[in-house]
Chains A and B, each alone.
Chain A
Amino acid sequence: MPLWILLFPYALFLLVFGVFSLIDLYHAIRFRSGGFSAFLLTVFYLAGTASILYLSYLMLSTLDWNTTIGSPITGHPLGL
């Protein structure tokens, strides 16, 4: 089983994260009560999200995703 299989649940999480982020940002903009505070809040959130995603990319992009995850039953090494 290749390691890149791990990326499927990650992609699913990113999808859910994106949907919830859009709902949050919609609320922040639609129901804002101040002139500038909603804008600052939105920028703050987007900057934080971009930072986490960028750091994640830096870590994940260096990995060899074609490494095979083995099983003790089949005798292949796990590489843990």
Chain B
Amino acid sequence: MHLGHLFKQKGYEHVVFVLRRHPFILLKSVILFVVLALLPAGVIFLLQHVNPNVLLGSISFPIVAVAGSIYYLAIWLFFFTAVLDYYLDLWIVTNDRILSIDQEGLFSRTISEVDLWRVQDVTSEVKGAVSTIFNYGNVYIQTAAEKERFVFEQVHNPNFIRQRIIELAEEDRKYHKVPAV
């Protein structure tokens, strides 16, 4: 994976994790899109049972055709935006720092980073039946410098990630002369 244009890597730095939300989150958007795409077919089927000619009028058919085109283009655009939102949300963990790249809708993008040696507390959370079955959840990272927590949202195997970040933070502290927390 080429990440050079997203952040400038230091000479000694190497990427340990590149994390995204669990694919199940994307599957929800896919299912919603399929349901919305099939919805007009169901409505047309019902209308044709009520009155077979209702959609074939010289006025009603063009209206339905234009409305259908607008509807399908709109749900396609919303679906693509949802996929893009999933694709562009990214958390990068290196042996030196943690980067969070958060795309919120079309016009908001937040990039933040924290040094690993500043990490004080890491908490993983798997909540609910679906999250437990698919093993995804949140990882909360508390740092000494900031009150606000860093959150990896709905990532796969959060317990393993928590453990690995604790190990990496301990390793990084050795190079920053900070007493172990």
Contact = CB atoms under 8 A, between A and B. Distances in A.
Given A49-B73, A65-B62, A35 B1 contact: yes
Interface residues of B, number: 33
Nearest to B107: A23
Question: Which of A24, A35, A37, A53 is most buried by chain B, counting CB atoms within 10 A of its CB?
Answer: A24
Interface residues of A, number: 38
Contacts of A17: 73-74, 77
Contacts of A60: 62, 65-66, 69
A10 B66 contact: yes
Interface string A7-29: 10110011001001101100110
Nearest to A45: B80
A65 B59 CA distance: 9
A10 B6 contact: no
Interface string B57-83: 111111101101110111011001101
Contacts of A13: 70, 73-74
Contacts of A74: none
Contact of B69 (A10, A67, A80): A10
A20 B90 contact: no
B62 A3 contact: yes
Nearest to B18: A33
Given A23-B106, A56-B73, 7 more contacts: A24-B81, A28-B84, A31-B88, A41-B83, A59-B69, A63-B61, A63-B65
14 contacts: A3-B62, A6-B62, A10-B66, A13-B74, A28-B84, A33-B3, A45-B80, A48-B76, A53-B69, A56-B72, A60-B62, A63-B65, A67-B62, A80-B57
Interface of B: 1-3, 6, 18, 57-63, 65-66, 68-70, 72-74, 76-77, 80-81, 83-84, 87-88, 90, 101, 103, 106, 109
Q: Which 3 A-B pairs have the closest CB atoms?
A: A56-B69, A79-B58, A79-B59
